[in-house]
Amino acid sequence: MVKGLPSNKIFQDLSIKFLLLSFDQLYQIDEQQGLHLEYHDDENYDFWTENQESIYSILIILFQSIENFLKKEICLESPLLILSTPPSKWKNKHFNDLLIYGFDDLLKIYSELRNVEFDEAIKAALSKIKSTRNTIVHGVYKDLIFPKEIITFTNIFLKEIWGCQWLKDIRPFIPYEWETCSETIMIWKIVCILEKYPGKNKTCFLLGVKTQDLYICPMCHYYNEKLLITNECDYSYFIRKNGKKYLFCPICENSYVLSNKKCQNSDCNDKLIYSKDDFGYFCLNCEVFLDD
């Protein structure tokens, strides 16, 4: 009997923490060069070449997130399935003393358990991140890696493996931002990185947003003004619930109800004034809060 079998939660927590760490480090280094500069601009090409060690570390962390996610999914069936040590050698052994399958085998086991068949492009991308990580860790890697490549791997991971549940899963691990009293600042950093590289359409897909008719979120707009993460908190969209029309934000998960209050701006004829208890009134047209 194998002793000390881990729960799937151990690998899930590691996967989430590694993912958040990779996003946070990429945001920090990208912010040094300026979020509104493209990664291939001549003016910041030297910056990225001089910071390859940081990019390498981010790729390694992202790989660890993917690998631990696969372990978590397989452990939902049984942690014994991730052991490569033959069962004949399990007797009275502790789990940590046994060998675990490598990335390729974990991916194959996951595919069989979930009945998933990846296309050749996805297989090539996953093989690329694995081989790149292995060369960085065990050899000498000389090719340049840019942020766009890291986010391409991340996009594939979230879209093709983790699925639409990813944002819900990571929410409990999002740190509270004391300066703004907000729990969404880290999510907006993630959104900024995703929006900058894969683009807004792919970011909407990852967020589960199925409409292009998007609006500013009043609460996210308020908090982001303090830290200047982004000036465009526009992922909110209209939903109907119990016969009423609400503005819903998938980032902060707040809903705002249509108000009868008029905008105080004489040049504004918009009637899209939304409110939330204890948060005031917000004009979607002017993108400002109104005086009570």
pLDDT tens track for 55-112 = 999 999 999 999 999 999 999 999 999 999 999 999 989 999 999 999 999 999 999 9
**What integer pLDDT is reported at residue 36 of this predicted model?**
43
Q: How many CB atoms lie within 10 A of CB 115?
A: 6
Q: Name the residue type at position 1.
A: M
State residue 247 phi and psi, 5-degree precision: -100, 120
The residue-averaged pLDDT of 264-284 equals 70
**What integer pLDDT is reported at residue 39 of this predicted model?**
47
Q: Are 212 and 171 in contact (CB under 8 A)?
A: no
**What integer pLDDT is reported at residue 11 of this predicted model?**
97
If one compares 164 and 40, the residue with the highest pLDDT of the two is 164
- pLDDT class of 218 with cuts at 50, 70, 90: confident
Q: Which two tokens stand for residue 267?
A: 């040049």
Q: Does the pTM exceed 0.85?
A: yes
pLDDT tens track for 128-140 = 999 999 999 999 9
Average model confidence (pLDDT) across the chain: 87
